DNA sequence: CTGAAAGCGCTTACAG
DNA sequence: CTGAAAGCGCTTACAG
């Protein structure tokens, strides 16, 4: 078979080479500007013309080139995920949620981990956004809580969504995870089991969630006439090791708590190790409750009672909001933290 | 302060608006083509001219627009990560490694999880690549093992790197993780502890790693005159639940093994749960060895002896190779699996 | 070694 | 409602 001669005037085989806006315009007998109007859902196209163009688009399998479109729009079709949370499961769940919403939209996800303590952080993010002309960005804790970044984003007029435990910005820029409610659920669970002496292992204080989870805990205890004793609070760092160390400290107290609420599952897993070292049984001697409901919660022994966080759903909501495609309201149980009772919590010892 | 009048002929304030190739050309008194030559490291630019242009680039902070460059090149500066491994830690480590190598290169990472069982898989990936005109892609197991995808990649002439346990392609397209060596290390460790009766929980058979890890195990056992009994092999699915179920089966055998090598940490964690249910102590009654050395390995009790996989380093090597920037040879211990001894393995019971 | 023209595949003004 | 021209910021192919 001899190589096919290119037929510049009437080529209609787009199985190998992708069709362009010019091909569609030629085949539909209109100008490329009119094709552009159809692509961009402009209302000012005659119904009949629109249908003819749409037929050609379908037939040729034409898809607009995001690069060319981006160059002309001065804006790409890339969405950036900017994060500093080191937990792999959080990161992956968030990515999956964003991608859930982005599937079929023509947008793609560019990931950008960062270090909040890095001095050039704000400039780095700014360069990343300006260089790629990002369509918008999603920020997760704790970088989402950094006002310097939010300010820069407004300055360069970049669309953004901040995922955080409380409203830090205008509603259009926020997805709230309401971690206070998670702390509240943990407190109620433990109080209802009969615990009166409860310990708290906090996450690192630079994460807003640490404070929200604690304030929810205190609110829930107060409902039952209980308070969080000062010496029953230990400040960890959301890491396994810090959870273990904090739990050692709390469980070595003469008046040791009968239950510990840890700020996340990693620290709760550390607390489990500390209890084992001290030959305390869980939940017989001490109940332990985590936060996140990541895989680790069901891998440790005993499986952890924990607060489930709908991270993937949160990610989906964030991307929908960024793309201006908010779907119908989500049921609260789908987007708010909720307690998952497993085997690490039980009534206090007699 | 009155708004500055734009000065089309001599604007030199690029603190707000980014400089373009035209600005640099004008300021350096050359054509934009010559600036383009400097950007692209063309040798045919006079030293003096080059220096003048470089000075202007530095002064203006000019960075070429990847979108415009991409449109002209017919290729973007995006690298795609295509994966179907559901383990969050694997995914995140791989991403971090790729980003390690990409930092400062001007490339960005676009993530593309997929489902290998999906019928339109190959077309989806092809559309993803062609639409975004990806510079190249990195594939990880098990999609990296799919020949239909590799074939399509060659057909559309897309640069690609396959990360897999063995060489499935030309060296220029491969990063080998050599999982056989990991199985070998696990076997030697257990044999040296004195185990004679060893069980194996395999990963899902559609992952090449399942077979490589097993063949390494058998090779290591053979070195000590041992073999893997047929009824000591259970086929899991790389999941926690499958590991638990397989271990239940193996540990309920009349001639139960004194040690179990699980194909990954998740299954090893499941095996730990099974041992606990059966009131077998680890490692007193049975030793358990995992594979991956992800965080979970040190969170469970007892902390797992496991095979460490340098996933992040592997990712870094993959991106370097894709960008044609291979650095000096890595020490083998940096890129090969190696055993990490913790507390889940010990001598067999007397 | 250097440049003027044309083009990558789109969109934004501006007309009509 | 539709289109011809100019432009987004680069590079390729061709000259000189």
Domains of chain A (ranges; CATH) run 10-62 (1.10.260.40), 72-176 (3.40.50.2300), 179-310+331-340 (3.40.50.2300)
Parallel, antiparallel, or unpaired: how do β-strands A108-113 and B233-235 relate? unpaired
CB-based contact, B322 to chain A, within 8 Å? no
Test A108 with B132 for CB contact under 8 angstroms: yes
Helix axes B66-73, A121-132, angle to 10 degrees: 40
Q: What number is the average pLDDT over the span A14-19?
A: 76
CB-based contact, B91 to chain A, within 8 Å? yes
Nearest protein residue to C3's C1' (by CA)? B31
Q: Which nucleotide minimizes the distance between its C1' and the CA of A32?
A: D3
Rounded distance, CA A188 to CA A220, Å?
A: 6
B148 CB less than 7 Å from any atom of strand C: no
The terminus-to-terminus CA distance of chain B in angstroms comes to: 89
What residues of B are in contact with residue A296 (Cβ under 8 Å)?
A: 295-296, 299
- pLDDT value at B238 more than 80: yes
A32 CB less than 7 Å from any atom of strand C: yes
Please count the CA atoms within 13 angstroms of the CA of B215 that sit on its side-chain side: 11
Count CB neighbours of B311 within 10 A: 25
Identify the CA nearest to A60 among candidates A106, A9, A11.
A11
Test A67 with B71 for CB contact under 8 angstroms: yes
**Backbone φ/ψ region at B29: left (φ over 0), alpha (ψ -120 to 50), beta:** left
Q: What is the DSSP secondary structure assignment for residue B249, as one 8-state letter?
A: H
The pLDDT of residue A44:
83
The pLDDT of residue B12:
61
Test A63 with B111 for CB contact under 8 angstroms: no
- pLDDT value at B2 more than 80: no
- pLDDT value at B163 more than 80: yes
Rounded distance, CA B144 to CA B140, Å?
A: 5
The pLDDT of residue B1:
34
Contacts of A193 (CB under 8 A, 6+ apart): A259, A287, A345, A346, A347, A348
Q: CA separation (Å) from B306 to A145, A207, A343, B59?
A: 38, 33, 27, 53
Parallel, antiparallel, or unpaired: how do β-strands B338-340 and B287-292 relate? unpaired
**Backbone φ/ψ region at A157: left (φ over 0), alpha (ψ -120 to 50), beta:** left
B8 CB less than 7 Å from any atom of strand D: no
- pLDDT value at A3 more than 70: no
| Residue A314: alpha-carbon gap to chain centroid | 5
What residues of A are in contact with residue B295 (Cβ under 8 Å)?
A: 88, 240, 296
Residue predicted with more confidence, A331 or A340: A340
CB neighbour class for A171 (10 Å; exposed up to 12, middle 13-18, buried from 19) = exposed
DSSP string for B75-129 = S-SEEEEEE----HHHHHHHHHHHHHHHTTSS-EEEEEE--TT-TTHHHHHHHHH
Sign of CA dihedral B326, B327, B330, B336: negative
DSSP string for A148-201 = HHHHHHHHTT-EEEEEESS--S-GGGEEE--HHHHHHHHHHHHHHHT--SEEEE
Question: Given pLDDT bands bounded at 50, 70 and 90, which one contains residue A11?
Answer: low
Rounded distance, CA B100 to CA B134, Å?
A: 19
Contact call for residues B318 and B138 (beta carbons, < 8 A): yes
- pLDDT value at A346 more than 90: yes
- pLDDT value at B159 more than 60: yes
Strand D contacts (CB < 7 A) among B residues 32-91? 32-33, 35-36, 39-40, 62-65, 68-69, 71-73
Rounded distance, CA B233 to CA B213, Å?
A: 13
Protein contacts on strand C: list nucleotides below 7 Å from a Cβ.
1-5, 7-13
Phi and psi, residue A112, nearest 5° = -140, 80
Identify the CA nearest to B270 among candidates A303, A219, A216.
A303
Instruction: Give the least confident one: A71-85, A277-291, B265-279, B321-335.
Output: B321-335
- pLDDT value at A258 more than 80: yes
| Facing residue for A131 by CB, picked from B66, B91, B273 | B66
Contact call for residues A335 and A310 (beta carbons, < 8 A): yes
Identify the CA nearest to A50 among candidates A27, A62, A34, A64.
A34
User: Considering the entire predicted model, what is its pTM?
Assistant: 0.94
The pLDDT of residue A43:
86
CA of B72 to C1' of D11 (A): 5
Query: Which residues 285-314 on chain A approach chain B with CB closer than 8 angstroms?
Result: 295-296, 298-301
C-beta contacts of B49-58 below 8 A and 24+ residues apart: B52/B28, B53/B24, B53/B28, B55/B28, B56/B24, B56/B27, B56/B28, B57/B24
CB neighbour class for B11 (10 Å; exposed up to 12, middle 13-18, buried from 19) = middle
| pLDDT tens-digit map of B223-236 | 999 999 999 999 99
| pLDDT tens-digit map of B17-56 | 788 999 999 899 998 899 999 999 888 888 888 999 999 9
The pLDDT of residue B13:
67
């Amino acid at each position: 078979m001899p190589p096919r001669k290119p037929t510049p005037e009437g080529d209609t085989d787009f199985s190998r080479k992708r069709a362009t806006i010019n091909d569609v315009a030629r085949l539909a007998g209109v100008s490329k500007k009119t094709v552009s109007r159809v692509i961009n859902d402009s209302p000012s196209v005659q119904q009949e013309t629109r249908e003819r163009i749409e037929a050609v688009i379908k037939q040729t399998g034409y898809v607009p080139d995001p690069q060319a479109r981006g160059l002309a729009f001065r804006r790409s079709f890339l969405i950036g995920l900017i994060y500093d949370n080191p937990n792999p499961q959080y990161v992956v769940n968030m990515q999956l949620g964003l991608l859930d919403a982005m599937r079929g939209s023509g947008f793609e996800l560019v990931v950008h981990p960062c270090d909040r303590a890095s001095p050039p952080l704000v400039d780095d993010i700014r360069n990343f956004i300006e260089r790629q002309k990002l369509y918008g960005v999603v920020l997760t804790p704790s970088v989402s809580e950094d006002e310097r970044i939010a300010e820069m984003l407004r300055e360069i007029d970049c669309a953004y969504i901040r995922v955080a435990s409380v409203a830090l910005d205008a509603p259009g820029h926020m997805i709230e995870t309401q971690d206070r409610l998670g702390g509240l659920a943990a407190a109620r669970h433990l109080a209802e089991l009969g615990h009166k002496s409860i310990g708290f292992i906090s996450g690192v204080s630079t994460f807003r969630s640490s404070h929200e989870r604690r304030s929810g805990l205190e609110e829930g205890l107060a409902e039952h006439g209980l308070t969080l004793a000062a010496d029953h609070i230990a400040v960890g760092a959301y890491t396994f090791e810090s959870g273990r160390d904090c739990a050692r400290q709390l469980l070595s107290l003469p008046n040791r708590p009968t239950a510990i609420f840890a700020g996340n599952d990693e620290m709760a897993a550390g607390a489990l190790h500390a209890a084992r070292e001290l030959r305390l049984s869980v939940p017989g001697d001490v109940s332990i409750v985590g936060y996140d409901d990541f895989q680790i919660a069901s891998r440790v022994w005993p499986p952890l009672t924990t607060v489930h966080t709908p991270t993937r759903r949160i990610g989906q909501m964030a991307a929908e909001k960024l793309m201006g495609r908010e779907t119908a309201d989500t049921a609260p149980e789908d987007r708010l933290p909720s307690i998952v009772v497993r085997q690490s919590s039980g009534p206090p010892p007699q």
